[in-house]
Structure 1
């Protein structure tokens, strides 16, 4: 195929069978390739041509790495990124439901910023496995960032009496105490490299008389024990970037990333905020019921309920700590309402005065966060506010709508390809040719780049930005 490859007009013809082979290869071995060193030997094509081909596949989610020439005809895959299989394209809730009924989900990695509910998701998986797969063992959780490295190994694997100062008795450790249950390693990205190597061997599964177990050796012990546990891991770090930088073992990442569930930040799922408020208020009702001598209900007045929802959905609400912010806010509402309770009333109302104070408190709290006072312009909220206020008076009304949809699509999705599909699914009229075929990333990027200069003008109105010479004002 050398002559076909070298002819630019026929290059797509040459790439087609290669793409088909790579996509088939990735479907078969996808979960391993993201973290396994491997080489591609070629008989034709330059490194630049191969890089161009693989970059195109990377944008479409089919491959995950770029290459460099190691020696003549051999290329090494360098960058490590999460591989998106069929399961990973499902919403997180659907992924967790699938994993909850799977007999093969031995290692599940939960990713996402602080406060998105990784512990809650891990407990939910354990409860589902207990119910559906008859796994009656305990749920054991440990925060890998909260225990000194020299004690963490003993917490995980147990220890023998006298193995170190203070080890006055034998201890089983989390893996053995959770037999036929679940171990949740929160903030696994904080593990030191030395302990990552020891965890690597503990993660390996071995078949013992029909049971898949992990072999555990306690600190100071010589005998290994089998532990039948499922492992859920959580992290707010990008472990693929950490592995590329050498701070996380690539081989360990390969073993724990079979099933990856990326939990969204609260600003991506704002429709859940009001429900979280109501759930937390219900928990507070149960908490104070014993003090009140019977059932108590916290009731948001109609205006207060609408105010909470409007604020939750607005771009100005940052929810820095995600669900923790909401839960703490609901607790403050309950506290203020309880302080206004009259006598032994069973119905505690939450009015507009309380909600208004809470909204002001949240706004002040977020504005005082480090960096917020001097943060650079360019956030989604800044752009939307500027466009809504007519920050660029050279845009037509149709173009203004188009820019708003572009902003909303990019803000609601993870990448440009998903943003274009978001637009197509909603059949947004300002996008002429919205059903065009081709690479969705390119389709979105073409429109995004078109308005880049306008957005700079909207965010920096003085001095006024000159329009590109190729664009005429209305």
Structure 2
């Protein structure tokens, strides 16, 4: 079999133009000085600024191994050679464009030259199969002496077991941790499921340009995450354009097509000037279409064409315009149900459904409430330019309420943000106290009251009478019972009337019926009085 080596130019170790360069070990040149390692072809990768050095290395390789065919390739690694996403992406693109012949050629991947990030990238590309072959590492002679200067040194083939290379695996793990931490806005989330979800999103965000679909209830953080994905791609993934966000629920009627795809002057009444449209504005950037399920079928068809062809026709235009944008869509609906009902195009769903990530509701991530509480406090401090903190008792009390299984968090993170904003705004001297938390608990419970759910109504009323502090000391089992008793007392004219309703099932079995006294004792157990419960 023929043998081909692929390697990076070592801008430091391979350097040298005078005759003295032969007195030092140069990794790319030394690769061809081993008598027991014959290489038929060499693919030398380098950045555009190192063209002259690359040519000098090529000349020297031809001197020591004239039978080797050497080819150079310019690879643009981006602005930062230590950026894993830029370097990996550039090498990945090169590998995808190279024609490998695995049946006839034995490939060696030289990982001695280049930065550690480049070496990690070569390692990962080899492990993933994009750079097939064996890894080869070279090194200078051991205990190099004067007479050894310019000697070929050593080489070794590497067993592809990541656990054996602590330095490489540690660097990669750190890059991954930093990236996922960025997507989480620095919040030390504790939910294992959510952390795994973010790791998957990180992998897709840096490796794929395909559309992404973020699902989850309103307030789960889809918009915030979409912006962080854009910022990550902008920093490391090569996005040069803007982040353009729109809630599709606000696009109605004839204005929807104009807002998304733009229009030409005179296209309709009121179109007094050209409008580029959001798709055009997102050229080379990222378009976030929140609540995409609200789009009309006509707009869905045009969006599908724009995704596939990178062109679209503005309203009133004769010629299409181009826009190469990346798409993230968000929805709180099940789009499969929308397809079944004829409200969403199946072909569009197939196009945006390649990478779908479902964000959990806040009540499904109760272990993450504490770190998100700290994050919201930091955000308020930064925006209001005023340091805010809880006293110990107040923080513990709020978390006990927030993490309780029966706290619904109907608005998800929007509710948490609103709660922190209110408590921080009202806190005297920047210190949130227990009484501030008690007031906020009552406000939240009342905000979650829905007329169609009597249980929530009773819970909200109970908080007004017994106080938020004492309410949190009552088990959820007893809380439901007490809330119902208070609700019956409120609508009853007398203690006896309330007792008859509450004990209707058992009073027929008793010889002596003193329902009023029985109810009075039950209320006293919770420091309540019937008269105080009356409207």
CA distance in 1, matches of 2:298, 2:439: 49
SS of equivalent residue, structure 1 residue 261:
strand
Specify whether residues 301 and 235 from structure 1 end up closer, same or farther in structure 2 by C-alpha distance, changes over 3 A only.
same
Change (3 A) 1:388 1:319: closer
Match of residue 314 from structure 2: 218
Offset from partner CA, 1:258-309 (integer Å, 9 cap, x none):
11010001110012222222222222222222xxxxxx31110011111121
Shift of 1:198: 1.9
Quote the residue 1:357 is aligned against: 439
Counterpart check, 1:237 vs 2:341 = no
Query: Which of 380, 387, 390 is residue 284 of structure 1 equivalent to?
Result: 380
Q: CA deviation at 1:372?
A: 2.3
Query: How far, CA to CA, are the matches of 1:306 and 1:253 in structure 2?
Result: 45
Would the aligned equivalents of 2:289 and 2:328 in 1 still touch at CA under 8 Å? yes
Deviations 1:62-94 (A, max 9, x none): xxxxxxxxxxxxxxxxxxxxxxxxxx9983212
The separation in 2 between residues aligned to 1:165 and 1:194, in whole angstroms, is 20
Shift in Å, 1:375: 7.5
- 1:24-423 aligned at under 5 Å gives the runs 91-102=196-207, 104-205=208-309, 214-289=310-385, 296-337=386-427, 340-341=428-429, 348-366=430-448, 368-373=449-454, 385=476
Cα deviations by residue, 1:47-76 (Å, 9 ceiling, x for unpaired):
xxxxxxxxxxxxxxxxxxxxxxxxxxxxxx
Equivalent pairs, count: 277
Q: Cα distance, 1:388 vs. partner?
A: 12
Tell me the CA shift for residue 236 of structure 1: 0.5
Change (3 A) 1:388 1:305: closer
CA 1:112 to 1:463, structure 2 compared with 1: closer, same or farther past 3 Å? Answer: farther
Question: Are residues 328 and 89 of structure 1, via their aligned partners in 2, closer, same or farther at CA, if it must alter by over 3 Å?
Answer: closer
- Structure showing greater radius of gyration is 2
Query: Using the alignment, how far apart are the partners of 2:224 and 2:312 within structure 1?
Result: 27
* CA shift in 2, pair 1:152/1:352, >3 Å: same
CA deviation vs aligned residue, 1:414-450 (integer Å, no higher than 9, x gap): xxxxxxxxxxxxxxxxxxxxxxxxxxxxxxxxxxxxx
Q: Secondary structure of the equivalent of 2:388?
A: strand
Q: Counterparts of 1:195 and 1:370 in 2: how far apart (Å)?
A: 37
3-state secondary structure, aligned to 2:254: helix
Aligned to 2:51: none
TM superposition score normalised by structure 2: 0.49
User: Deviations along 1:311-342, whole A, 9 cap, x unmatched?
Assistant: 111012110010000000000001111xx33x
Alpha-carbon distance in 2 for matches of 1:320, 1:135? 35
SS state at 1:221 partner: coil
2:170 corresponds to which residue?
Answer: none
* Aligned-partner SS, 2:250: coil
Specify the SS of the correspondent of 1:328.
helix
Closer, same or farther: CA 89–321 of 1 in aligned 2, 3 Å? closer
CA distance in structure 2 between the partners assigned to 1:244 and 1:148 by the alignment: 22
Q: Taking structure 1 as reference, are residues 332 and 388 closer, same or farther at Cα in structure 2, changes over 3 Å only?
A: closer
Please provide the CA RMSD for this pair. 2.8
Query: Is the 8 Å Cα contact of residues 178 and 229 (structure 1) preserved in structure 2?
Result: yes
Find the aligned partners of 2:505 and 2:311 in 1 and give their Cα distance.
Answer: 67
SS in 1 for 2:454: coil
Instruction: Specify every segment of 5 or more residues in structure 1 that has no aligned partner in the other structure, as ranges.
Output: 1-87, 206-213, 290-295, 342-347, 377-383, 390-461, 465-474
SS at match of 1:357: helix
CA 330–245 in structure 1, closer or farther in 2 if over 3 Å, else same = same
Instruction: Tell me, in whole angstroms, the C-alpha distance in 2 between the residues paired with 1:133 and 1:297.
Output: 36
